[in-house]
Amino acid sequence: MMNSHEKRARELKENGNNCSTSLHNAFSEDIKLSDEYPAPRSIEGKCGALLTAQKILKEKGHEDKIEEFEKEFIKRFGYSKCKELMSSERRCNDYVGECARIIDEILNKN
């Protein structure tokens, strides 16, 4: 079952937003975030949803969870770079939704 952030992130992506914008806006509706977020592939070619998730964790005071997030992302998808992810059968919407789910899992642990 999808949580509200995952559902909203997927809806935003389906409505034409890029992965970074979709994830950022899904969370900014509930929690205060800066208006700035990384562009897709802007850091070492990494997935924009992954980069934005890491920024959200940092802004919420969970900088110590950024590495944990990336490890979990790679565990679930096998890669962190957009080019590699796009060669799989999954869609960007899947990465955006799963990033929202992982963020909530990490934030709800504490």
- Using an 8 Å Cβ cutoff, are 62 and 107 in contact? yes
pLDDT band at 11 (very low <50, low <70, confident <90, very high): very high
| Range scoring the smallest mean pLDDT among 16-20, 31-35, 63-67, 77-81 | 31-35
Q: For residue 47, give the nearest of 73, 80, 14, 25 by alpha carbon.
A: 80
How does 27-41 read in b/e, with b if 16+ C-beta sit within 10 Å? Answer: beeeeebeeebbebb
* Residue-level pLDDT at 21: 93
Residue 90: half-sphere exposure toward Cβ, Cα within 13 Å: 15
Tell me how far apart the alpha carbons of residues 84 and 10 are, in angstroms, rounded to a whole number.
Answer: 21
Instruction: Spell out the domain ranges in the chain.
Output: 4-109
- pLDDT, one tens digit per residue, over 69-85 is 999 999 999 999 999 99
Average pLDDT of the chain is 91
Q: What is the pTM of this model?
A: 0.90
* Residue-level pLDDT at 110: 59
Q: Which residues pair with 46 in a beta bridge?
A: 81
Q: For residue 56, give the nearest of 4, 107, 12, 108 by alpha carbon.
A: 107
Rg of the chain over all Cα atoms, to the nearest angstrom: 12
* Residue-level pLDDT at 27: 93
Residue 3 clears pLDDT 70, i.e. is over it: yes
